[in-house]
């Protein structure tokens, strides 16, 4: 594909050894600067599909906004920005700026004043910056709409069209959507006239085993531990339909002795980012979430999805269960239903022909399996702004304190703080060592999360 040796070496170091179906079909077209309309589900590898061409064509010496990626949620925007940074880490001084609602506005204005190469954001916040003339898109040559169907479902059509009207007409445009319904076709025809079309329909059939259990309101929560232990799941995502139910279930499971974290839109963005980091670092075995987590979150190796409440429609249901089948992997999805869910069950039967209806009384709690995580996460009060990198933290824990490499899990370095997962049995040693020692010659405040 005519990528540089440095680019290929970086891809190899990130563990990319083969392309997914969407990457195989879209990358050759995108690297030729063709417009693209692509239908591909969440977890198919599409973020890399559009990020590689952005990084490949970037002129880092021109400190102007050259690419804009619009996403439906803050979480997805942040994860796209992280992926672009990983793919461009072999290039010095690439600035990727996220513009999302729910976080302070004025610091974004200041960051825009100082310039950026790539903007990743939500349509509402980008639109606001445009109206207040904080952004200059004169040098933009690439536009990406990711999860376009989700953005339209959320009512962002006018914001998207308003943004596009302010962009240069000569640009490469990419639209990615899990579905291709009439509203997507209308938007696609407005943003590009000669786009190539790619559809990865075969990825819709993923290897997900679906089991459904009839329950009543009295035993619904009490069966959760048995469902987890009987399947020996170490990473579990539980979906509820409301924020109130998420909080109630979280309290009930905590009272049953389970470690849980909760994710919904009432939380501050900083807290949401931290929760995603803790769960993806395998430091908590259970994440309870509303449908804010059904799409866009790049959390791999979720072994079990439980629909505590059935999804409002079959499209959301499909996205939920897909969290346990990232990048073509198989998984298990369990749905609990009550007598009033009869219509939803019939809708699911029309779509999925391999549903397994089983008796909840036959689920046996495996008391030999402990529902817990192998890792715990340490918070470090220093990040990229203090020039603290993942490699510095790893070096402090291994060479400095004496932990083995396998004792250290995922390291997440943000602007002003960092998180590092360590094996539970090494937690005290790691905390004591980091409290007393230095990282890059500096002392940082550390504590367990």
Going by C-alpha positions, the residue among 170, 178, 79 that lies closest to residue 120 is 79
- Nearest by Cα to 68 from 168, 189, 1, 156: 168
Which fold, 205-362? Rossmann fold (3.40.50)
Q: At what angle do helices 21-31 and 46-57 cross, to 10 degrees?
A: 20
Find how far residue 16's CA is from the centre of its chain.
18
Distance CA 336, CA 346 (A): 14
Closest Cα partner for 144 from 163, 131, 129, 125? 163
Q: What is the pLDDT of residue 326?
A: 61
What are the phi and psi torsion angles at 187 (to 5°)? -65, -45
Question: Looking at residue 297, what is its pLDDT?
Answer: 64
The CATH architecture to which 375-448 belongs is: 2-Layer Sandwich (3.30)
Q: Is 294 helix (H, G, I), strand (E, B) or coil?
A: coil
Structure confidence by residue, pLDDT tens digits, 342-382: 999 999 999 898 899 999 999 999 999 999 999 999 999 99
Residue 384: closest CA among 416, 412, 411, 421:
416
Strands (E) located in 302-406: 304-307, 331-337, 356-358, 375-380
Q: 201-206: long-range contacts at Cβ-Cβ below 8 A with a sequence spacing of 24 or more?
A: 201/39, 202/21, 203/21, 203/22, 203/40, 203/41, 203/44, 203/328, 204/41, 206/322, 206/325, 206/328, 206/330, 206/331
**pLDDT at position 316:** 87
Helix (H) or strand (E) holding 144: strand 142-145
Q: Are strands 208-214 and 408-413 parallel, antiparallel or unpaired?
A: unpaired
Can you give the residue ranges of every domain in the chain? 5-203, 205-362, 375-448
C-alpha 268/C-alpha 258 separation (Å) is 24
- Asked whether the CA dihedral 71, 73, 74, 79 is positive or negative, the reply is negative
What's the CA angle centered on 35, arms 5 and 323, to 5 degrees? 75
Per-residue pLDDT at 202: 52
CATH node for 5-203: 3.40.50.300
Residues of the chain with pLDDT under 70: 201-206, 293-298, 325-329
In the chain the first and final C-alpha atoms are separated, in Å, by 43
Output b/e per residue, 5-27; b: 16+ Cβ within 10 A: eebeebbeeeebeeebbbbebbb
Residue 307 pLDDT: 98
Per CATH, 5-203 and 205-362 having the same topology is answered: yes
């Amino acid at each position: 594909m005519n990528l540089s040796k440095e680019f290929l070496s970086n891809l190899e170091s990130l563990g990319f050894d083969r392309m997914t179906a969407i990457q195989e079909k879209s990358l050759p077209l995108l690297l030729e600067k063709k417009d693209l309309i692509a239908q591909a589900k969440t977890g198919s590898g599409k973020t890399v599909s559009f990020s590689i061409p952005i990084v490949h064509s970037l002129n880092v010496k021109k400190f102007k906004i050259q690419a804009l990626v619009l996403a439906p949620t803050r979480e997805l925007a942040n994860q796209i920005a992280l992926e672009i940074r990983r793919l461009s880490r072999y290039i010095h001084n690439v600035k990727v700026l996220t513009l999302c609602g729910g976080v302070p506005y004025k610091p974004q204005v200041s960051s825009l004043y100082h310039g950026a190469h790539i903007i990743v954001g939500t349509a509402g916040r980008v639109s606001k910056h445009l109206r207040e003339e904080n952004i200059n898109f004169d040098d933009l040559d690439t536009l990406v709409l990711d999860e376009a169907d989700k953005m339209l479902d959320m009512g962002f059509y006018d914001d998207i069209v308003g943004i596009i009207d302010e962009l240069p007409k000569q640009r490469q445009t990419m639209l990615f959507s899990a579905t291709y319904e009439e509203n997507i076709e209308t938007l696609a025809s407005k943003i590009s006239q000669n786009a190539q079309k790619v559809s990865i329909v075969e990825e819709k059939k993923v290897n997900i085993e679906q089991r459904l259990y009839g329950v009543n309101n009295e035993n619904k929560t009490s069966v959760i531990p048995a469902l987890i232990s009987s399947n020996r799941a170490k990473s579990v995502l539980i979906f509820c339909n409301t924020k109130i139910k998420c909080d109630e279930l979280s309290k009930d499971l905590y009272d049953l002795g389970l470690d849980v974290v909760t994710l919904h839109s009432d939380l501050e963005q900083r807290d949401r980012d931290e929760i995603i980091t803790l769960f993806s670092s395998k430091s908590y075995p259970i994440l309870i979430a509303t449908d804010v987590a059904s799409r866009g979150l790049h959390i791999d190796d979720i072994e079990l999805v439980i629909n505590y409440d059935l999804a409002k429609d079959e499209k959301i249901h499909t996205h939920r269960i897909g969290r346990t089948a990232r990048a073509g992997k198989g998984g298990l999805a369990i749905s609990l239903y009550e007598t009033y869910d009869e219509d939803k069950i019939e809708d699911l039967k029309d779509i999925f022909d391999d549903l397994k209806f089983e008796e909840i009384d036959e689920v046996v709690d495996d008391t030999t399996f402990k529902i817990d995580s192998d890792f715990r996460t340490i918070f470090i009060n220093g990040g990229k702004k203090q020039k603290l990198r993942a490699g510095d933290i790893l070096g402090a824990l291994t060479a400095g304190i004496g932990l083995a490499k396998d004792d250290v899990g995922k390291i997440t370095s943000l602007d002003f703080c960092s998180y590092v997962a360590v094996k539970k049995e090494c937690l005290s040693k790691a905390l004591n060592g980091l409290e007393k020692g230095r990282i890059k010659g500096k002392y940082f405040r550390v504590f367990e999360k």
